[in-house]
Amino acid sequence: MAISTLIRLWFLADAKDKAFIRALQSLLGFYPRNISLYKLAFSHRSLALETTGGNRLSNERLEYLGDAVLGAVVADLLFKKYPFKDEGFLTEMRSRIVSREHLKHLAVKIGIDEMLQKDAGPGTYRSMYGDAFEAFIGAIYLDRGYAITQHYLLSRIIRPHVDLGEIESTEKNFKSVILNWSQRERKSVVFETVEEDPRARLITVRLMLDGKQVALGSDHVKKKAEQVAAERACRELGLL
């Protein structure tokens, strides 16, 4: 988009749009081209407008796109940074970086929570800020393409705000998460050994919730197998 076009759009914008553009410039570090994309990115589904076709306009489609772009950028970063780590390590690191809780933390840190348009309190939708962060990334991708989106994520989000060393060294106790949740919800959680393979030296356990199997986990050590099952159960139940 030519500079003259940007200037013309600026003078045509009303005071509210100008304030939004200034906030975007501060957040992005460059001038946004398609303002409507970013407005949509910060439109939570609690304020969704119904179109003539019966569809509802919110940031959910941009969230879907941003999730994919963010995952690709983080996967590429980790692949290059850890050339000798296996697929399991890379997958776990990526999961921690793009987890809803971590994205919520990043969204609040850079001020997305202040820009999100919503008709709901912060406790109503647990992941609204993390979702808005992904939608914002989707908007950048559509507005400026993959290369600029990748540069933005690396230079303005990951390098200044994400401590990869700390994330790598932090081992989350998923078993404690599921047990604490079960106590609050008055649910019965039991870990049962399903199979022990002496040749592979592999132990498989299952996590039972109120008598029903929720997840399986396998490892060479029983406690680690329980952690694997607990993590999968936490993801299944939306606790992460």
Judgement on whether residues 27 and 114 belong to the same structural domain of the protein: yes
Q: Are residues 189 and 139 in the same domain?
A: no
Q: What is the pLDDT of residue 11?
A: 42
Pair 24, 79 in one domain: yes
Identify the active-site residue in 67, 131, 143, 226: 67
- 182 with 160, same domain: the answer is no
Query: CA torsion 41→47→48→49, rounded to 10°?
Result: -120
**What angle (nearest 5°) sits at the alpha carbon of residue 160, between those of residues 116 and 166?**
105
To the query of whether residue 67 is one of the catalytic residues in this protein, the response is yes
For residues 231 and 240, give the distance between their C-alpha atoms in angstroms, rounded to a whole number: 9
Q: Are residues 23 and 59 in the same domain?
A: yes
60 with 45: CB under 8 angstroms?
Answer: yes
> CA 111, CA 27: separation in Å to the nearest integer?
8
Catalytic pick among 17, 92, 113, 134: 134
Token digits for 15? Answer: 């005071």
Q: Which two tokens stand for residue 30?
A: 């460059």
Three-class secondary structure of residue 218 per DSSP: strand
In this structure, the answer to whether residues 72 and 90 fall within a common structural domain is: yes
C-alpha–C-alpha distance, residues 17 and 41, integer Å = 15
**Residue 3: its pLDDT value, please?**
43
Annotation marks residue 134 as catalytic: yes
Last residue of a domain, one of 169, 187, 215: 169
What's CA 140's distance to the chain center, in Å? 16
Tell me how many domains the chain contains: 2
Verify that 127 and 220 share a domain, yes or no: no
Q: Do 91 and 181 reside in the same domain of the chain? A: no
- Residue 114's pLDDT is 87
Tell me if 70 sits within 8 A of 52, measured CB to CB: no
**Strand stretches in 117-211, DSSP E:** 189-197, 202-209
Per-position pLDDT tens, the chain of length 240: 444 444 454 444 555 677 888 889 999 999 888 988 999 999 877 665 554 455 667 788 999 999 999 999 999 999 999 999 888 788 878 988 998 788 989 999 999 988 888 755 544 455 788 889 999 999 999 999 999 999 999 999 999 999 999 888 776 678 888 888 898 889 999 999 998 877 767 889 999 999 999 999 888 778 888 988 998 999 888 886
Let me know: does 59 contact 42? Beta carbons within 8 Å: yes
**Is residue 132 domain-shared with residue 211, that is, in the same domain?**
no
Q: How far apart are the first and last CA of the chain?
A: 41
pLDDT value of position 229: 92
101 with 125, same domain: the answer is yes
The angle formed by the CA atoms of residues 78, 155 and 167, to the nearest 5 degrees, is: 40
Q: Are residues 15 and 90 in the same domain?
A: yes
Of 151, 169, 187, the one marking the end of a domain is: 169
* Beta bridge partner(s), residue 203: 196, 219
The DSSP symbol for 111 reads T
Residue 50: its pLDDT value, please? 52
Q: Tell me the residue range of the domain where 75 lies.
A: 3-169
